[in-house]
Structure 1
Amino acid sequence: MTDEELKEQVVLALKGVYDPEIPVDVYELGLIYDIKIFPVNNVYILMTLTSPSCPSAGSIPAEIEEKVRAIDGVSDVSVELTFDPPYSTELMSEVAKLELGFM
């Protein structure tokens, strides 16, 4: 599998992770800032949460790591949480904005 194909599989896995308080997946919400594929299929994900006091701060990154690690061929997964830049609804995809009534 090429790096680009693996990245597509990672995005599909991310679309299966939801913030328990919001009925939209973390990818469409704009919580994923970066996905990098390093040699030997090591995956790095830089993400944020809707707020630093999000009650799901422990569970969402752990679920992301679990779902990405389950992809065939992935060697290792690193999920880094950041709040710089802070989350904003501007980061949401059009799909998320429609789902949540922002459009």
Structure 2
Amino acid sequence: MNLYNLYGGKTKNKKMEQEIDTNELGESIVKVLKSIYDPEIPVDIYELGLIYDVMVNTDYEVKILMTLTSPNCPVAESLPREVEEKVKTIENIKDVDVEITFDPPWSKDLMSEEAKLELGML
């Protein structure tokens, strides 16, 4: 699967002969990711810093590289599945592959300023 970083601009889908605005698609994916919350922390997974990378190819297939707050996270099974299912609901998305990594391990430094403020860490 040839993947292109979502924020790389427009690419052309040879099969459908139409342009994909990857910036617009990226915004849609981020909007969905911001609707998914870690059940133990009242912050969405995007602001929490659990999403390391989002890529899309010209066939509307998405790959999401993400982590969890710890390898023993109680939602290790359900959270990646929720991410996959919700991103698949975006129009034109054909497939979603969610890969979990612990390299680098998650730390509070990965959280956005918004998340830190929400959790009273600023």
Same fold (TM over 0.5): yes
The TM-score, its normalising length taken from structure 2, stands at 0.83
Q: In structure 2, give the amino acid aligned to 1:73.
A: N
Corresponding residue for 1:66?
85
In 2, are the aligned partners of 1:48 and 1:81 still within 8 Å (CA)? yes
User: Moved runs in structure 1, 4+ residues, more than 4 A?
Assistant: none
Higher helix share: 1
Q: In structure 2, give the amino acid aligned to 1:81.
A: I
Q: In structure 1, give the amino acid aligned to 2:114.
A: V
Secondary structure of residue in 2 paired with 1:26: coil
Correspondence list, 1:1-103, <5 A? 1-103=20-122
> Any unmatched runs of 5+ in structure 1?
none
Supply the distance in 1 between the matched residues of 2:56 and 2:24 (Cα, whole angstroms): 10
The C-alpha deviation readout for 1:33-77, integer Å capped at 9, x for no partner, is 000011111111000000000000011101100110000010110
Supply the distance in 1 between the matched residues of 2:71 and 2:78 (Cα, whole angstroms): 14
Structure with bigger gyration radius: 2
Higher strand share: 2
The TM-score, its normalising length taken from structure 1, stands at 0.97
Supply the distance in 2 between the matched residues of 1:102 and 1:49 (Cα, whole angstroms): 20
